[in-house]
Amino acid sequence: PNNNGYGRLMRDKDDIVLLAYNGSPNCRSILFQELLGILEGLKVAEMIGIDQMEIKYPALGAPDLAMRVKELLIASGFKRVNVEKGRRLDHGAWVPTMLMYPNADIPMCQLSIQTNKDGTYHYNMGEALAPLREEGVLIFGSRSATHNLREMGMNNSHIVSWAEVFDTWLKESLLNGRYEDVNHYEKKAPYGKKAHPHPDHFYPLHVALGAAGYKSKVEQIHHSWSLGSISYASYRFMTN
């Protein structure tokens, strides 16, 4: 049986609790449950007439780290590197850190991907940032191993074959050190384009892989599915 579930408190602007709600979907993906918890909260708010809501994750920025990232990228030959001081955190950044650091007690700096570039370009970006590993910086790439929203089914849907084939290929490629294949996944991977019609949900992996380097070892630390085609396979890169 699945004993996992989600729950939330809804507060007003003065931090007074208005209501509490919880649920227990038939799904083992923690990330899916957290997102479902947010969705259910929005539904409850609409039902009781709350028409203005905010989801707050007040993590501190890391301006010094942003400048260090810019310095490293320029030193590695990336000619145009801009620092945007007013940009808010993308959901790809605050959703996982909300689970990892619920008190938002970690300064954060996010790196934009370039959809007009390829996997090798993003691997090289990560490689340029490798010195940060020795400077106490956690580098992680957040998205999903497969991401085709047009192919999503119901939550309990059977896993479609193309997603399972691509997910297995990715796992075997990473665990066996075939990083160049991952960099050129469009040509090397079965169903690469179907698994990622748009590369923005895959390139964060290349950045993390580049930061770890070719000599790193890979371990799969989590694997779950949702909606029949979305793989939340997660990997840790070990450098020693």
- Name 189's Cβ contacts closer than 8 Å, sequence gap at least 6: 166, 169, 170, 173, 181, 195
Q: Based on the structure, what is the number of domains in the chain?
A: 1
219 in any annotated domain: yes
43 in any annotated domain: yes
pTM, full prediction? 0.79
Q: How far is CA 104 from CA 87, 95, 98, 101, 194, in A?
A: 17, 11, 7, 5, 35
8 in any annotated domain: no
5 in any annotated domain: no
- Is residue 71 over pLDDT 90? yes
Q: What is the token pair recorded at 28? A: 């083992």
**Is the backbone of residue 104 left (phi > 0), alpha (psi -120 to 50) or beta?**
left
197, HSE (Cβ side, Cα atoms, 13 Å): 6
114 in any annotated domain: yes
The CATH number for 114's domain is 3.40.830.10
Using pLDDT thresholds of 50, 70 and 90, give the confidence band for residue 9: low
180 in any annotated domain: yes
**Is the backbone of residue 74 left (phi > 0), alpha (psi -120 to 50) or beta?**
alpha
Q: What is the pLDDT of residue 31?
A: 59
Q: What is the pLDDT of residue 227?
A: 83
3 in any annotated domain: no
35-46 pLDDT, tens digit per residue, is: 667 677 777 777
As a whole number of angstroms, the distance between CA 38 and CA 98 comes to 12
Where would I find the beta strands (DSSP E) of the chain?
6-11, 17-23, 217-222, 225-226, 230-231, 234-238
- Segments forming the whole domain that contains residue 48: 16-238
4 in any annotated domain: no
Where would I find the beta strands (DSSP E) of 32-121?
none
Most distant CA pair in the chain: distance in Å?
55
Q: Are 62 and 109 in contact (CB under 8 A)?
A: yes
Q: What is the token pair recorded at 129? A: 């940032």
